[in-house]
Amino acid sequence: MRACGVGMTARIEWRTKGAGDDGLLFVGDYGEADDTVLKAWDGDAAQIADFLNDMEGLDTVFTGLETDVDQRDPQQWGELVMVRSPEGDVLYINPERYWDAIYYWFRSHGNDPHNATRRE
């Protein structure tokens, strides 16, 4: 998977520290460091729904590091829920964490995160 720069491998991760403490991370190789958080978004219902669907609201154009030095390790953002490529391919899902988060963010509020099932 190549995206966002010459020879850069990149992915978008959904991570959680617990109910409601989620983040979406644009992770890639930067210099000598593998797995660097290049950009981060707050994990709220709208951002997570976008991540689960078409990812139109997640700007993954790499223009330089947009995270503070103490926020660049993906592990510190919590447990991995799901990983997608910038092109949208699903690369990994932790099923237990995924369904717990879907319940927290959507089902407990009577919502569905997928566009095809949304009621207008």
Structural domain for 58, as ranges: 10-113
Element containing residue 84 per DSSP (H, E): strand 79-84
Separation of alpha carbons 104 and 46, rounded Å: 13
Confirm whether 2 is domain-assigned: no
User: What local confidence, expressed as pLDDT, does residue 99 receive?
Assistant: 94
Q: Whole-model pTM?
A: 0.80
The number of domains in the chain is 1
pLDDT at 63: 66
pLDDT per position as a tens digit, 40-83 = 888 899 999 999 998 888 877 766 666 767 778 899 999 999 99
